[in-house]
Chains A and B, each alone.
Chain A
């Protein structure tokens, strides 16, 4: 059972464009939603995260939009740059004593110069 569904699987954007990656979840116990960025040959690194009591969070060119009623959240990368080319994973965490990241399947983003 895939608890976090992520789309698209791959995305090609021109430099300066907006990259949008979408995720949906099923488990209403999830209460923390991080996005991880992974470059080839490296481990994932936290990019930005949101809790469900907030509808939007922005950090520089990266914005998370969160729709609690629809159980959906998305990552927007404004002014996309070639250096943003990486795999992006959305994830979800349920609170409590058993912290586990449940990852989406990932989106391979390519930003063309």
Chain B
């Protein structure tokens, strides 16, 4: 059974049109992460939540925002998508900070037209 679920699997959006990607988890993990993965590249951490505490990476553009209304759900908002934002967006969770396994969802493939 899927433990980290991302919706939709594929998203096409217009240049400059706001888009929201969603992630839900059934693991009751404290930490949720959003990664951006471009073709043939490593996943790049955008930000993460430890419970309700939001931690933004220094090089994450302001165009990217996130919300975590409760333990189970986390959203990635891209306010004005550009062509360079086309990528796979991966949500992940971990039980706690430390050397615990991170569980990834299947990702949302975002296309910007």
Give me the interface of A with B, judged by CB distance under 8 Å: 31-32, 34, 36, 41-46, 49, 51, 89, 93, 95-101, 103-106, 108
Known: A42-B107, A44-B104. A99 touches B43 (CB 8 A): no
29 contacts between A and B (CB under 8 A): A32-B99, A34-B101, A34-B102, A41-B106, A42-B106, A43-B90, A43-B104, A43-B105, A43-B106, A44-B90, A49-B99, A49-B101, A89-B42, A89-B43, A96-B97, A96-B98, A97-B97, A98-B55, A98-B97, A99-B94, A99-B100, A100-B48, A103-B42, A103-B43, A104-B42, A105-B41, A106-B40, A106-B41, A108-B40
Q: A34-B101, A34-B102, A46-B102 are in contact. List 15 more A-B contacts (CB 8 A).
A: A42-B107, A43-B4, A43-B90, A43-B106, A43-B107, A45-B104, A49-B99, A96-B97, A97-B97, A99-B31, A99-B94, A99-B96, A99-B97, A99-B100, A106-B42
